Amino acid sequence: MAGTPADHGFGAIVARHRGYFESGKTRPVEWREAQLTAIETMMTERSDDFFAALWSDLRRNRVDADATDVRFVADEAAHARRHLKRWLHPEAISTPLALAPARAEVRFDPLGVGLIIGAWNYPVMLTLSPLVAAISAGNAAVIKPSEVAPACAEVIARHLPEYLDPEAFSVVTGGVPETTALLDQRWDHIFFTGGPAIGRVVMTAAARHLTPVVLELGGKNPTIVHSSANLSVAARRIAQGRWQNAGQTCTAPDYILVFKDVAGPFLAELKAAVQSFYGDDPRHSPDYGRIVNHRHFDRLVGLLDGAEVYHGGQHDRDDRYIAPTILVNVAADSPVMQEEIFGPILPVLDVDCIEDVITTIRSRPKPLGLYIFAEDRDVAARLLDATESGDAAVNDCTIQPLIRELPFGGVGESGMGKYHGEWGFRAYTNARGVLYHSTILDLGVRYPPYSEHERLRGFVMRTMM
């Protein structure tokens, strides 16, 4: 099947991968284990290339790059390989007595050929972690890295074909035209990480073929600092979660709701944490990143207009540098509170009580993450019961995706579908219920004419429900 000029030849690529998938060659556990091992090997052998690309695109230091991208992907692949046989094993389901002898099970069958559209903020992890899930489930895939992180896209495009089965996997680079052409193809699954606006475009394209999707869309993650919180620990953990990767993290705290009676001490602790991490001039810190490009830089600087800066605020367009910035006396309807910030700016709002916190969170779209800093367990429980979010953490923030056994993903405006570990495996499979019914017994009461066995049939049918 040849691709037309309008589809950039992508139709032929998808057809080739689908033919390979339908041949059954991606189903054996040995094939899946080999591909997962290949990813682990690639991340180890080519780690320096990935580190250099992450520094070029985001000025990400090696420690963070290893923990959140390079080693993270290698460990994700190793985790899937170790647990794969257990995940693949069908789940036994009990059957009604009236069907005896019979057995039932849930199989986890691969979906087919998937499209993975990666993101630029963690351009390795958010592109290859979904690929690990697709492989573990026995699928083929086309991978589209983000063009906004061009160095990482180039490294992925160069090395992935060297390690993975080329009959099952392809990498496509490019921008909007290429992504649009890819979305015009018929897929068996689409995985997209990005913002809600493009998420709607992806979902609209998927709807043409009723293609299942996983959408990881982020959002304004509220962070509550209660009066009972350990303020120094809260400040350090929030500072790391907010300003790692220069704030360009979908799970980062987006704004703080701090109880008034501890607002002053908390702000002092937060400023001290920033200075402890990055020094008096973070521009020169080897651990502090840069904004990905000038378009995002200009958007972020615009959010500072008219804002009251408690700490930071310095910026340099040529260097794509914005200092870790804390804003105070922030109005709920201010520009910085209208969209996900996705940068090193942190608004701090005072609240009087838990009811104010609940009202504020409920008035906004459901976020990807919700963070509660409180030593009072009843407070934490009440806030979790009264709010909704994709994920949550108590007395920490941002790092919950590192726990592979936890489902990771949004809800409502922040996305749909979960992945990592077994959750990723299941996202890429069809949970297929199968009944195995013996022919040794074949009770006549299930067949017409029903009048001959009316009472007995009613009893039998009730036991089957």
Catalytically active residues are 216, 250
> What's the rounded Cα separation, in Å, for the pair 397 and 384?
14
Distances (CA, A) of 60 to 96, 152, 256, 287: 57, 12, 25, 7
Question: Pairing relation of β-strands 113-117 and 140-144?
Answer: parallel
Question: Which candidate, 328, 361, 343, 341, places its Cα nearest to that of 219?
Answer: 341
Place of tokens 């990935």: 50
Question: Pairing relation of β-strands 102-110 and 429-437?
Answer: antiparallel
Using CB atoms within 10 A of its CB, is residue 354 exposed (0-12), middle (13-18) or buried (19+)? middle
Q: 83: which residues sit within 8 A by CB, 6+ positions away? A: 421, 422
Assess whether the previous peptide bond of 101 is cis (omega < 30° from 0). Answer: yes
The 3-state secondary structure of 315-340, one letter per residue: EECCCCEECCEEEECCCCCCHHHCCC
Measured CA angle at 50 (ends 149, 276), to 5 deg: 85
> What's the rounded Cα separation, in Å, for the pair 356 and 279?
35
Decide: 130 and 77 in contact? Cβ < 8 Å. Answer: no
